Amino acid sequence: MKSVDTNILVRLLTGDDPAQYRKARKLFESSNIFISDTVVLETEWVLRYAYSIHSKQICTAFRKLFGLSNVRLTNAMTVSQAITWHESGLDFADAMHLAASLDHDQICTFDIMFAKKARSLCDCKVTLI
Protein backbone atom coordinates (compact mmCIF):
# COMPACT_ATOMS: atom_id res chain seq x y z
CA MET A 1 0.00 0.00 0.00
CA LYS A 2 1.27 3.45 -0.91
CA SER A 3 0.58 6.56 1.13
CA VAL A 4 0.09 9.80 -0.78
CA ASP A 5 0.82 13.43 -0.03
CA THR A 6 -1.57 16.33 -0.50
CA ASN A 7 0.02 17.39 -3.78
CA ILE A 8 -0.83 14.02 -5.35
CA LEU A 9 -4.52 14.48 -4.48
CA VAL A 10 -4.53 18.09 -5.65
CA ARG A 11 -3.01 17.12 -9.02
CA LEU A 12 -5.47 14.23 -9.38
CA LEU A 13 -8.51 16.33 -8.49
CA THR A 14 -7.61 19.50 -10.40
CA GLY A 15 -5.62 18.21 -13.37
CA ASP A 16 -3.85 21.59 -13.37
CA ASP A 17 -0.49 20.04 -14.29
CA PRO A 18 -1.16 17.49 -17.05
CA ALA A 19 2.07 15.52 -16.58
CA GLN A 20 1.61 15.24 -12.81
CA TYR A 21 -2.10 14.47 -13.27
CA ARG A 22 -1.21 11.49 -15.48
CA LYS A 23 1.31 10.22 -12.91
CA ALA A 24 -1.19 10.61 -10.06
CA ARG A 25 -3.92 8.87 -12.04
CA LYS A 26 -1.60 6.01 -12.95
CA LEU A 27 -0.65 5.63 -9.28
CA PHE A 28 -4.31 5.42 -8.24
CA GLU A 29 -5.09 2.99 -11.06
CA SER A 30 -2.22 0.64 -10.21
CA SER A 31 -1.83 0.70 -6.43
CA ASN A 32 -3.62 0.41 -3.14
CA ILE A 33 -3.61 3.91 -1.67
CA PHE A 34 -3.60 5.17 1.91
CA ILE A 35 -4.71 8.75 2.62
CA SER A 36 -4.15 10.12 6.12
CA ASP A 37 -6.62 12.43 7.86
CA THR A 38 -4.04 15.22 7.75
CA VAL A 39 -3.77 14.89 3.96
CA VAL A 40 -7.58 14.96 3.66
CA LEU A 41 -7.71 18.10 5.79
CA GLU A 42 -4.92 19.85 3.92
CA THR A 43 -6.33 18.89 0.52
CA GLU A 44 -9.71 20.44 1.35
CA TRP A 45 -7.99 23.64 2.46
CA VAL A 46 -5.81 23.85 -0.68
CA LEU A 47 -8.74 23.19 -3.02
CA ARG A 48 -10.90 25.80 -1.28
CA TYR A 49 -8.34 28.56 -0.76
CA ALA A 50 -5.76 28.14 -3.49
CA TYR A 51 -8.14 26.94 -6.21
CA SER A 52 -11.40 28.58 -5.07
CA ILE A 53 -13.29 25.32 -5.59
CA HIS A 54 -16.74 25.36 -4.01
CA SER A 55 -17.23 23.13 -0.99
CA LYS A 56 -20.00 21.10 -2.68
CA GLN A 57 -17.63 20.22 -5.51
CA ILE A 58 -14.93 19.25 -3.02
CA CYS A 59 -17.33 17.02 -1.09
CA THR A 60 -18.49 15.34 -4.30
CA ALA A 61 -14.90 14.75 -5.40
CA PHE A 62 -13.95 13.40 -1.97
CA ARG A 63 -16.89 10.99 -1.90
CA LYS A 64 -15.93 9.61 -5.32
CA LEU A 65 -12.22 9.38 -4.54
CA PHE A 66 -12.61 7.90 -1.06
CA GLY A 67 -15.17 5.43 -2.37
CA LEU A 68 -12.66 3.77 -4.68
CA SER A 69 -12.08 0.14 -3.70
CA ASN A 70 -8.30 0.59 -3.52
CA VAL A 71 -8.37 3.69 -1.27
CA ARG A 72 -8.01 3.46 2.51
CA LEU A 73 -8.35 6.29 5.02
CA THR A 74 -7.11 6.58 8.58
CA ASN A 75 -10.72 6.59 9.75
CA ALA A 76 -13.27 6.42 6.95
CA MET A 77 -16.20 6.95 9.32
CA THR A 78 -14.70 10.17 10.68
CA VAL A 79 -14.05 11.52 7.19
CA SER A 80 -17.50 10.49 5.96
CA GLN A 81 -19.17 12.20 8.92
CA ALA A 82 -17.05 15.31 8.41
CA ILE A 83 -18.06 15.51 4.75
CA THR A 84 -21.73 15.20 5.71
CA TRP A 85 -21.45 17.92 8.35
CA HIS A 86 -19.48 20.13 5.99
CA GLU A 87 -22.29 19.79 3.47
CA SER A 88 -24.60 20.99 6.29
CA GLY A 89 -22.57 24.18 6.65
CA LEU A 90 -19.89 23.36 9.21
CA ASP A 91 -16.33 24.34 8.31
CA PHE A 92 -14.50 21.24 7.06
CA ALA A 93 -11.71 21.39 9.64
CA ASP A 94 -14.24 21.90 12.44
CA ALA A 95 -16.25 18.97 11.07
CA MET A 96 -13.15 16.76 11.15
CA HIS A 97 -12.36 17.83 14.71
CA LEU A 98 -15.93 17.20 15.84
CA ALA A 99 -16.19 13.83 14.11
CA ALA A 100 -12.90 12.74 15.67
CA SER A 101 -14.17 13.81 19.11
CA LEU A 102 -17.44 11.88 19.19
CA ASP A 103 -16.04 9.24 21.55
CA HIS A 104 -14.97 11.85 24.11
CA ASP A 105 -16.90 13.63 26.84
CA GLN A 106 -16.76 17.00 25.17
CA ILE A 107 -14.90 19.25 22.78
CA CYS A 108 -13.80 22.65 24.11
CA THR A 109 -13.54 25.71 21.92
CA PHE A 110 -13.46 29.50 21.86
CA ASP A 111 -15.30 29.48 18.49
CA ILE A 112 -18.91 30.51 19.10
CA MET A 113 -20.06 29.73 15.54
CA PHE A 114 -18.48 26.27 15.65
CA ALA A 115 -20.15 25.52 18.97
CA LYS A 116 -23.54 26.73 17.81
CA LYS A 117 -23.47 24.78 14.54
CA ALA A 118 -22.00 21.64 16.15
CA ARG A 119 -24.71 21.54 18.80
CA SER A 120 -27.32 21.40 16.05
CA LEU A 121 -25.58 18.46 14.34
CA CYS A 122 -24.81 15.93 17.06
CA ASP A 123 -25.01 15.01 20.73
CA CYS A 124 -21.32 15.62 21.40
CA LYS A 125 -21.04 18.21 24.16
CA VAL A 126 -19.43 21.34 22.71
CA THR A 127 -18.23 23.65 25.45
CA LEU A 128 -17.28 27.29 25.06
CA ILE A 129 -14.53 28.23 27.47
What domain range includes position 14?
A: 2-74
What pLDDT shows up at residue 42? 98
Render pLDDT for 30-59 as a digit per residue (tens, 0 to 9): 999 999 999 999 999 999 999 999 999 999
Residue 15 is assigned to a structural domain of this protein:
yes
User: For residue 83, what pLDDT is reported?
Assistant: 97
What pLDDT was estimated at residue 86? Answer: 95
- One DSSP character per residue, 53-80 reads --HHHHHHHHHHHHTSTTEEES-HHHHH
Q: What is the pLDDT, as a whole number, of residue 31?
A: 97
* Residue 125 banded pLDDT, cuts 50, 70, 90: confident
Q: For residue 95, is it within any domain?
A: no
Examine residue 111 and state whether it is found in any structural domain, yes or no.
no
Instruction: State the burial class of residue 48 (Cβ atoms within 10 Å of its Cβ: 0-12, 13-18, 19+).
Output: middle
In a domain, 79, yes or no: no
Q: Which helix (H) or strand (E) holds 39?
A: helix 37-45
In a domain, 93, yes or no: no
Residue 114 lies in a domain: no
Establish if 118 belongs to a structural domain: no
- Residue 86 in domain: no
Domain count, the chain: 1
Residue 21 has pLDDT above 90, yes or no: yes
